[in-house]
Amino acid sequence: MRWIQYLGCVFIVSFLIFWGINGAAEFLSRTQFMMGTRVNIIADASPEQINKAFDEIRRIDSLMSGYSPESEISELNREGKIKASVDLREVILKAIHFSQVTEGAFDITVGPLVRLWQKAGREKKLPTAAELEKVLSLVGYRNIVIDKDTIFLQKKNMRLDLGGIAKGYAVDKAIQVLQKNGVKNALVNAGGDMYCLGNGPHGDWRVGVQHPRKMREIIQVIEVKNRAVATSGDYRRYYMIEGERYSHIVNPKTGQTVQNTPMSVTIVAPDATSADALATGVFVLGPEEGMELINSLAQIEGMIISGDMQIRESTGWDGFESADLIDEQARITYNLQK
């Protein structure tokens, strides 16, 4: 009998119980470090089928990684104009869509701003008003032009950063590959951006939403099927400058990082690209405006934990909540002690 598997991804903790009951599906779990995070695939599938899904994530990463100078996105940032792959065009079109939906809170043109804050984090010194102003003039999704297969950045020194959407897109593509290969039940989790296909070993997939400050505590367990779940939080990647915590998510309008509120946003959506982008965008909007947006969107649900630990849930969130959180916590504690 294989016992509990604890998947300690940083944003969301998903956990499952595997039994080797006679005739029951045999789920395999494989983890690889990709896209700067732990990618975990659990599927009622063969190792070969799972490997094909990892290959797909690797392919997407090779197009969209801001760290690799060879990636397609780095080429676009360098050249300002390229004939782009279908994948890059699709992800940028979706990003622009979510910029419109969030009224500019989600914006992949934050590249220069993100770099400025990374530098500030390294040097432990806040950016000056002049530096912020200069960089903000390069931010604005309306300056991305897509004409057939060509992408054009209208301002010199503009930089696209796909960190808030590419993992979700890669998860969706990996799920498509699994489905094409006949897999019916699988979970693909790229560091907190995940899709839950079909069933887990015991019916709906169960996902634990992590406490934003107590790393081993689960705040809530949700049960989902054929849905994506993504969390954006301020607790994994942040900068400490002069004793303050600055999140890695920036407000494209003010140039400031999003501070203290909210601490985590979890979105449930029909696909992981949307869940990923919305989690980041809602994080920028904040608890009130963010929840209003979630409630206004069809097929989107969400939970926001704000700086004062107040938990807000969207109108349809109840449908996902699992009743026996206490039991689950007991089991997780058991597993962590092993």
Site residues, ligand AMP (CB under 6 A): 106-108, 110, 114, 161, 163-164, 232, 248-250, 252, 276, 279-280, 284
Which residue, 45 or 258, is less far from ligand AMP as judged by CB? 258
Least Å from the CB of residue 259 to ligand AMP: 13
Least Å from the CB of residue 274 to Mg ion: 10
Least Å from the CB of residue 61 to Mg ion: 15
Here the tokens at position 175 are: 């799920």
Which residue, 50 or 139, is less far from ligand AMP as judged by CB? 139
Q: What one-letter code names the amino acid at 139?
A: V
Which residue, 163 or 201, is less far from ligand AMP as judged by CB? 163
Least Å from the CB of residue 187 to ligand AMP: 18
The item of Mg ion, ligand AMP, none sharing an interface with residue 94, based on CB under 5 to 8 Å by kind, is none
Name the DSSP letter for residue 24: S
Strand runs labelled E in 36-86? 37-43, 81-83
The item of ligand AMP, Mg ion, none sharing an interface with residue 284, based on CB under 5 to 8 Å by kind, is ligand AMP
The item of Mg ion, ligand AMP, none sharing an interface with residue 108, based on CB under 5 to 8 Å by kind, is ligand AMP
Q: What is the distance, to the nearest Å, from the Cα of residue 153 to the centroid of all Cα atoms in its chain?
A: 25
Strand runs labelled E in the chain? 4-7, 12-17, 28-34, 37-43, 81-83, 144-147, 150-153, 186-190, 193-197, 205-210, 218-224, 227-233, 238-241, 244-247, 264-269, 301-305, 311-313
Question: Angle at the Cα of 282 (from 288 to 271), degrees rounded to 5?
Answer: 130
Which residue, 110 or 183, is less far from ligand AMP as judged by CB? 110
Least Å from the CB of residue 280 to ligand AMP: 4
Least Å from the CB of residue 8 to ligand AMP: 17
Residue sitting closest to Mg ion (CB) = 280
Residue sitting closest to ligand AMP (CB) = 163
CA distance 233 to 305: 9
CB 229 within 8 A of CB 235: no
* All residues at 6 or more sequence positions from 255 whose CB lies less than 8 Å from its CB, including other chains: 113, 127, 132, 133, 135, 136, 139
Least Å from the CB of residue 114 to ligand AMP: 5
Residue ranges in contact with Mg ion by CB under 5 A: 164, 276, 279-280
Which residue, 16 or 300, is less far from ligand AMP as judged by CB? 300
Helix (H, G, I), strand (E, B) or coil at 117: helix
As beta bridge partners, residue 240 has: 245
Backbone φ and ψ for 19, nearest 5 degrees, come out as -125, 145
Which residue, 211 or 236, is less far from ligand AMP as judged by CB? 236
The item of ligand AMP, Mg ion, none sharing an interface with residue 106, based on CB under 5 to 8 Å by kind, is ligand AMP
The item of ligand AMP, Mg ion, none sharing an interface with residue 110, based on CB under 5 to 8 Å by kind, is ligand AMP
Tell me which H or E stretch contains 325. Answer: helix 325-337
Which residue, 50 or 171, is less far from Mg ion as judged by CB? 171
